[in-house]
Amino acid sequence: MNTDTDNSTATNMPNMDKLGTQQGGHPNPRYVGRYAPSPTGPLHFGSLVAAVASYLDARACGGLWHLRIEDIDETRCKPEHIDDIIQTLHTFGFRWDGEIVVQSKQKSHYQQALQKLIGDQQVYACVCSRREIADSAVSNTRTMDGPVYAGTCRRAGHPFEHNALRVITHNTAITFADRLLGKQGQNLEQEVGDFVVKRRDQLFAYQLAVVVDDHDLGVTDIVRGADLLDSTARQIHLQQLLGFATPLYLHIPVVVNNEGQKLSKQTLAPAINSGQAIKQLNDCLRFLRQPRQENAESAQQLLDRAVQQWQATAMTATK
Ligand code: GLU
């Protein structure tokens, strides 16, 4: 991901001069936000930080805040974690707007979006094995979707059935202005390659599901961990192909353990302790460089007070 790219074809640059003039450092009065945990395990401190940041930012702007369960990757998600996550968020004082969206119930929406991409000839079938993709990779860089794909099958005309489907990318930069990190840019063809929107195992890819869901919910603002910064240009590319508006993005610093690894199920991050909600919410506020709420009597009261004092720009601009 380049932080300074001039060769841009796409942009959702907000007027940077206006940032910071309203509460929470945010210019959008019709704010719709969301929190989108994946039920691959119980919530850990890093997930709680993302929940707090997205919640406070939305509420500080008088906005809506939706909860979406991202269980599209059925190979990694477990249904028992869904109830646990919802219960934990409730115990920690979060109140969301509308129905909870569950990705596994939205597949017809993803199919519809895929049909549009196919109809517009933006998608092709790929028969490459993992090995072939790695061997032909354009560079040594790995993205969240694997090595940079060389476009081997782009003109091969393979049948769509039973194969992975990739969306065509271009050799131009997609740029956007992150509210915290400033101008960001990525040349998708060179830095990612054509990426998968439907997997060979017939599951829809995260990148497509997120874009369709955010559009369905009318999301205007995405606040999430900087580990997802690398996905944002892919998502903007899909938004443009599907004719969807691009939201504003704010990528918050990632919580790491003593070894410098991102907290996750893979790095054995401990589950948050529902018996210590106020303490852990205060720990989140400290991480996010917000004033602590020492005298709150309940988790909900703590969040209400934190909303009043939320300043997104107080966070350190680190990836
Ligand atoms: N489901 C993703 C995660 O838990 C978050 C996706 C997003 O916020 O766009 O890391």
pLDDT confidence tier of residue 17, bands split at 50, 70 and 90: very low
- CA–CA distances in Å: residue 59 to residues 23, 189, 240, 311: 10, 37, 28, 12
User: What pLDDT is attached to residue 23?
Assistant: 44
Please indicate whether residue 38, judged by its CB atom, sits closer than 6 Å to ligand 1: yes
User: What pLDDT is attached to residue 9?
Assistant: 38
More reliable by pLDDT, 116 or 78: 116
User: What pLDDT is attached to residue 2?
Assistant: 53
Instruction: Tell me the CA–centroid distance for residue 50 and ligand 1, in Å.
Output: 9
User: What pLDDT is attached to residue 27?
Assistant: 55
**Average pLDDT of every residue of the chain:** 89
Instruction: Tell me the CA–centroid distance for residue 298 and ligand 1, in Å.
Output: 27
Q: What is the pLDDT of residues 250-269, one digit of tens each?
A: 999 998 887 778 877 777 77
Alpha carbon distance 314, 317 (integer Å): 9
Residue 319: is its pLDDT beyond 50?
A: no
67, 96 in Cβ contact below 8 A? Answer: yes
Residue 28: is its pLDDT beyond 80?
A: no
The lowest-confidence range among 66-80, 143-157, 165-179 is 143-157
* Mutation to probe ligand 1, out of 48, 206, 210 (largest number of atoms < 8 A from CB): 210
Please indicate whether residue 37, judged by its CB atom, sits closer than 6 Å to ligand 1: yes
Q: Which DSSP symbol is given to 157? A: -
The lowest-confidence range among 101-105, 152-156, 268-272, 313-317 is 313-317
Residue 166: is its pLDDT beyond 80?
A: yes
Please indicate whether residue 36, judged by its CB atom, sits closer than 6 Å to ligand 1: yes
Residues with Cβ within 8 Å of 24's Cβ and at least 6 positions away in sequence, in order, are 56, 57, 60, 61, 310, 311, 312
More reliable by pLDDT, 232 or 74: 232
Q: What is the pLDDT of residues 98-144, one digit of tens each?
A: 999 999 999 999 999 999 999 999 999 999 988 888 888 777 777 77
